Amino acid sequence: MMPGRRVAIAGVGYSTIGRHTGLSSDELVRQSTLAALDDAGLRMADIDGLATVGSDALSNAWMMGIAPLHWWNSTLQAPAFVYAAHQAISAIASGFCETALALRIIQQQPTGKKLLSGGGKSNPMTAGLTHAGGDRQFLVPFGAGSPVNFAGLLTQRHVSQYGTTEEHFGHHVIAQREHASLNEDAFFRDRLTMEEYLASRYVSKPVRLLDCDYPCDSGSAVIFTTEERARDLDKPAVLVEAASLVATRDIQFEILENMVETSPHVCAKEIWARTELGPDDVDTAHLYDGFSIIPFQWLEAFGFCGPGEAGPFIAEGNTRRGGRLPMNTDGGACNVGRRHGANFCIESVRQLRGECGERQVEGAEVSVFTNSFGPFCGAVLLTRG
């Protein structure tokens, strides 16, 4: 159990979500916050803490009329939503605030914006750069600054070291699409065959297009509070059992000393050190899937399977509904859209409350959700109150 006061999740909510919604960042904040407040049965005046990724906490608080604000935190660089969640959990556990809102806001570039072609200028992470130092000098000239390039490297290493096959990744993508077929909020709901997966084009070999999450506009909000406060509300309390946030080096994936055991392996050890629960106690896992290789690393890091065994573990059906560990039951970010891990927190909460309808994991009492991999990541273990 985490030190300090026991923390719970009281409410969750989304904004309108779409490929390009045309909504402002403020509107995404407003919609998702009101949805989470309605879910929790709370008012704006009940919030006294705010953690954001992708928006400015003080500006958001002013826009929504949250005052006084006793604690806040904003970041643009971190393992996305789980960073905001971790900060909110820490603030409540230590007594700096009573009820904290965690936000992840993503607003895509306007439709029609084109990038220059040729060399490094074709990549949004390297566009416009004419000089680079350090290890970036080996990436910028070739336009290899995109996360998909890093994913290709780490995926190829897993393939080379463990014999993981493209069909293993295909089984993962197919299982997630099966889950998405039961989620009316998913962008992609038609089931896939292995032939369709293998026909998907490479984007950074061996990573295929279907291995990648789907960019979209989204606002995601989660309200954290004390266990005592949560138990007084209408919805079942979902308790934070353990949390971990880890950085093992800077953001450069391509020079990681070990590309198959990255930050998730450190993070998972910390999670298990902070609880009496273990891998066999987890009923459903919601593991960040910006690229298919990421949940492979998390499965191995948490000990749900052995090193290099994620591929066969998935191929055997263990992560499907009715399997040993139903995973990413909302369909994952490749089907519901890139929400940078907030969807995995929200799906975990809904599973533990028993609100997932056809995709509900029967008797779910323990869930874990994660964000990112490589040089930094985070995870939170949740239990039904």
CA-based end-to-end distance of the chain: 13
Mean pLDDT estimate for the chain: 90
Q: From 330, 294, 334, 333, select the one nearest 314 (Cα to Cα).
A: 294
Q: Can you give the pLDDT at residue 329?
A: 98
Quick one: what percent of the chain has pLDDT higher than 70?
A: 88
Tell which CATH architecture fits domain 1-108+215-235.
Answer: 3-Layer(aba) Sandwich (3.40)
- Model confidence over 216-246: pLDDT tens digits? 999 999 999 999 999 999 999 999 999 999 9
177-to-180, 181, 233, 265, 275 alpha-carbon distances in Å: 5, 6, 34, 27, 32
Tell if the pTM clears 0.75, that is, is over it.
yes
Domain range annotation of the chain: 1-108+215-235, 146-211+242-385
Q: Can you give the pLDDT at residue 361?
A: 98
Scanning the structure block, which residue is given the tokens 């290890």?
Answer: 135
Weakest-pLDDT range from 66-75, 138-147, 230-239 = 138-147
Read off the pLDDT band of 54 (50, 70, 90).
Answer: confident
Return phi, psi of residue 377, to 5°: -170, 180
Weakest-pLDDT range from 75-79, 91-95, 251-255 = 251-255
CATH of 146-211+242-385, one of 3.40.50.150, 3.90.1150.10, 1.10.10.10, 3.40.47.10: 3.40.47.10
Residue 118, amino acid: G
Q: CB-side exposure of 301: number of CA atoms within 13 Å?
A: 29
Q: Can you give the pLDDT at residue 128?
A: 56
Weakest-pLDDT range from 74-78, 93-97, 311-315 = 74-78
Same fold, 1-108+215-235 and 146-211+242-385: yes
- Model confidence over 322-359: pLDDT tens digits? 999 999 999 999 999 999 899 999 999 999 999 999 99
